[in-house]
């Protein structure tokens, strides 16, 4: 998942403290084997990043930052929050990783909140894109029909990656309309993936709430017996 973030930003080289670098490596491992909630935390934690596994401990590390976040870091340095970007990144990472170390519940709450915000943002973007595509009338309908004829799996868009090259090859109309349509499909697939993660988070929260309620009733019964 994190490797896919390489296309979302520009590489920048920072000097990270060894302890922070090791924490990132540990959290990356947790994200790769753990629940979607923990993975989501890392996805949104301060910046999209990939830390090279071949860089020696103690040397500079290359991080891939979203452009908007990089500009925010530069602005904070200009305002005097740190002497340079490396110092600021170390400080922010230390604070964020402290959340991971102190509380699994806080981490899950953070992940859940970020998932909700991302879902809301994507929903609004999709509404705008769908309205915009309807302005293309016949081209939009033709693209929908073409996607269906190419076997696009409508429910989860699970085969979108294989259908997109065929769409590009087969479509003979406006390239601008085509790529807007593909963007619409990509965002729809991302929204469906986030909805699955949200469902898992909400079911887990409900399960924890039920267990807590049962535990409270059991403790109350014990106190009444005493």
Cβ atoms of 49 and 63 within 8 Å: the answer is: yes
Look up residue 165 and give its two tokens: 């090259």
Domain boundaries, the chain: 2-102, 111-225
Cβ atoms of 55 and 12 within 8 Å: the answer is: no
Look up residue 56 and give its two tokens: 């020696």
Give pTM, 2 decimals: 0.51
Name the pLDDT band for 54 (thresholds 50, 70, 90).
Answer: very low
User: pLDDT digit string (tens) for 136-176?
Assistant: 999 999 999 999 999 999 888 999 999 999 999 999 999 99
Name the pLDDT band for 1 (thresholds 50, 70, 90).
Answer: very low
pLDDT of residue 47: 38
User: pLDDT digit string (tens) for 86-136?
Assistant: 888 888 877 776 655 555 555 566 678 888 899 999 999 999 999 999 999
Q: Report whether pLDDT(76) > 60.
A: yes
């Amino acid at each position: 998942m994190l490797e896919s973030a390489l296309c979302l930003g520009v590489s920048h080289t920072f000097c990270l403290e060894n302890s922070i670098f090791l924490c990132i490596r540990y959290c990356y491992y947790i994200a790769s084997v753990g629940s979607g909630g923990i993975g989501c935390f890392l996805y949104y934690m301060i910046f999209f990043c990939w830390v090279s596994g071949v860089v020696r401990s103690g040397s500079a590390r290359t991080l891939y930052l979203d452009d908007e976040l990089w500009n925010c870091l530069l602005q904070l340095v200009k305002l005097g929050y740190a002497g340079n970007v490396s110092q600021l990144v170390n400080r922010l990472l230390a604070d964020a990783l402290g959340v991971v170390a102190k509380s699994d519940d806080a981490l899950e709450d953070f992940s859940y909140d970020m998932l909700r915000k991302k879902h809301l943002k994507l929903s609004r973007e999709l509404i705008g894109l769908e309205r915009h595509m309807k302005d293309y009338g016949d081209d939009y309908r033709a693209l929908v029909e073409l996607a269906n004829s190419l076997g696009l799996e409508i429910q989860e868009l699970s085969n979108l990656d294989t259908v997109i090259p065929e769409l590009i090859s087969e479509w003979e109309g406006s390239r601008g309309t085509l790529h807007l349509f593909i963007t619409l499909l990509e965002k729809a697939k991302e929204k469906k993936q986030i909805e699955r993660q949200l469902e898992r988070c909400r079911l887990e929260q409900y399960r924890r709430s039920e267990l807590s309620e049962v535990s409270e009733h059991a403790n109350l019964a014990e106190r009444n017996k005493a």
